[in-house]
Structure 1
Amino acid sequence: MITDCHIHSFAKTEAPQTGAYVPPAGDIRDYMDEAAPLGVRRAVVVQASVDGTDNSRLVEVLGTDGHFALRGVAMIDADADLQALHDAGIRATRIQDRARLGDSALDQLPGLAKRVAEVGWHIELNTEPRSFERIAAMLPDLPETTHLVLDHIGHVDPAEPDALFRLLDTGRIWTKLSPTRVSADVGHYGDLAGLIERIGTSYPDRIIWGSDWPHVMTSAPLPEIPPMLELCRDALSREAFDRCMWENPGRLYGF
């Protein structure tokens, strides 16, 4: 059984109020129809940037009836009711720290970590190698229970992964083995096999996988889920694959 730890869900009839892209017309039921035949039984819905810090759509999605177990990752502001979001199935918040997005929000990490620790959440970082040393330097100031998760394998260059491994060696960092934003060979992912194998061998308890469905801001042809799962099956040991796809997400998101 498989857990997809990074998807988005969009309303089909409602125009977004903010954001830098027009979201595709794909909602949670579309995702379930596509993923269920592949063995996916749990999914983590990440708040879309087009919704800003209004998590009402995310909360509604998490209440969807179906055979999937769902959890969420929210974007929060100072007035957010964390306990109410937790009760709805939210288990993390997210920081955007990408130069190309014009975001560099790491200054808020220590305060945000202390705040979300009250409800047992972790923090997901959409970051890149330019920030890895700074993240490592901030770790001593975070609550000991804080887990940080790198989205999209930290947007690392698979040919130059040393900075990523130095960060993972701190023991405080998880990573999502989501290949589509990192590979130059989307759909085949041959350039990531060695990187995924090394990560899975060295840090099997701190890896999860996410498809990034429905692949916003991505040129056609859009990525498909089966080749991603094939990459992980080939590059990871059977034990590491099972941890990545089921055991680790269960611990991290409280399924």
Structure 2
Amino acid sequence: MITDCHLHSFAREATPGTGAYVPPARDIRDYTTEAAPLGVRRAVVVQASVDGTDNSRLVAVLGTQGPVALRGVAMIGADADLPALHAAGFRATRVQDRARLGDSALASLPELADRVAEVGWHIELNTEPRSFDRIAAMLPGLPAGVRLVLDHIGHVDPAAPDALCRLLDTGRVWVKLSPTRISTDIGRYADLTALIGRIGTGFPERLLWGSDWPHVMTPEPLPEIPPMLDLCRAALSREAFDRCMWDNPEALYGF
């Protein structure tokens, strides 16, 4: 059984684009039609950047019934009602910290960690190696129970994983093995086998996997889920694979 810890859901009706991309007209029903036959039984829907801090569409998604159990990751503003979002199925908030988006958003991390600690959430970081040392330096000042999750394998260079491993060595950081943003071999992912094998050997208790469906800002042909799962099966031990796909998400997202 599989847990997909990173996907997005939009609307089947085309909507005007207000962000960095035009949202594809694909929603959670399209996702479950594709993913459920592959053994996906649980999934984490991440608030899309184009929706900003208005989580209302994702609240509705989490309330739908279907073959895949759902949890959510919000983007929150100062007025967010965290207990209400928690009751709706959210278990984390997300921070965008990419160089292409401008100044680092990490300055808000301590305050944000204090807020989410009150509802037992973690923080997901869409970040990159330029920020790893800063994140490590901030960890001792964050509430002890707040964990950080790196999206997209931290956007690390597969040939230079040492900085990522040092961050994982802190014991406070988890990582999503979502391959499509860093691989140059989409569909086979042979360039990631050694990287994922090293992470899986060193940190099996803090691995997650996410498909990044429906692959916004990605050229055709769009990635498919089966080769990603094949990569994880080949690179991870059976025990690490099972932890990545089922046990670890259960512990982190409270399925």
Q: How many residues align?
A: 255
- Residue matched to 2:60: 60
Q: Distance in 2 between matches of 1:12 and 1:186?
A: 26
Gaps of 5+ in 2: none
Q: Distance in 2 between matches of 1:34 and 1:226?
A: 10
Q: Distance in 1 between matches of 2:205 and 2:163?
A: 20
Q: Distance in 2 between matches of 1:206 and 1:37?
A: 26
Q: Distance in 2 between matches of 1:57 and 1:16?
A: 15
> Which string of whole-angstrom CA distances, capped at 9 and with x for unpartnered residues, describes residues 130-185 of structure 1?
00000000001100001000000000000111110111111110000000001111
| Counterpart amino acid of residue 69 in structure 2 | A
- The 1:50–1:43 alpha-carbon spacing in structure 2 relative to 1, beyond 3 Å, is same
- Residue matched to 2:239: 239
Q: Distance in 2 between matches of 1:219 and 1:27?
A: 19
Q: Distance in 1 between matches of 2:103 and 2:22?
A: 19
Residue 103 of structure 1 and its aligned partner are, at CA, apart by 4.9
Q: Distance in 1 between matches of 2:115 and 2:125?
A: 16
Residue 16 of structure 1 and its aligned partner are, at CA, apart by 4.2
- Residue matched to 1:202: 202
Identity %: 80
- The 1:187–1:17 alpha-carbon spacing in structure 2 relative to 1, beyond 3 Å, is closer
* 1:64-75 matches, cutoff 5 A: 64-75=64-75
SS in 1 for 2:111: helix
| Counterpart amino acid of residue 202 in structure 1 | G
> Which string of whole-angstrom CA distances, capped at 9 and with x for unpartnered residues, describes residues 58-84 of structure 1?
000001111211000000000000000
> Which string of whole-angstrom CA distances, capped at 9 and with x for unpartnered residues, describes residues 203-235 of structure 1?
000000000000000000100000000000000
Q: Report whether the alignment pairs 1:5 with 2:5.
A: yes
Q: Is the 2:63–2:88 contact (alpha carbons within 8 Å) kept by the matching residues of 1?
A: yes
Q: Report whether the alignment pairs 1:189 with 2:165.
A: no
Q: Report whether the alignment pairs 1:164 with 2:179.
A: no
Q: Is the 2:74–2:93 contact (alpha carbons within 8 Å) kept by the matching residues of 1?
A: yes
Q: Distance in 2 between matches of 1:11 and 1:142?
A: 36
| Counterpart amino acid of residue 66 in structure 1 | G
- The 1:118–1:213 alpha-carbon spacing in structure 2 relative to 1, beyond 3 Å, is same
Q: Is the 2:14–2:23 contact (alpha carbons within 8 Å) kept by the matching residues of 1?
A: no
- The 1:224–1:106 alpha-carbon spacing in structure 2 relative to 1, beyond 3 Å, is same
170-179 vs 103-112, which deviates more? Answer: 103-112
Q: Is the 1:96–1:103 contact (alpha carbons within 8 Å) kept by the matching residues of 2?
A: no
| Counterpart amino acid of residue 42 in structure 1 | R
Residue 14 of structure 1 and its aligned partner are, at CA, apart by 5.2
* 1:211-230 matches, cutoff 5 A: 211-230=211-230
* 1:91-170 matches, cutoff 5 A: 91-170=91-170
Q: Is the 1:16–1:50 contact (alpha carbons within 8 Å) kept by the matching residues of 2?
A: no
Q: What's the TM-score once normalised by structure 1's chain length?
A: 0.99
Q: Distance in 1 between matches of 2:99 and 2:172?
A: 23
SS in 2 for 1:84: helix
Which segments of structure 1 move beyond 6 Å, counting only runs of 4 or more? none
Q: Distance in 1 between matches of 2:103 and 2:252?
A: 26
Residue 104 of structure 1 and its aligned partner are, at CA, apart by 1.6
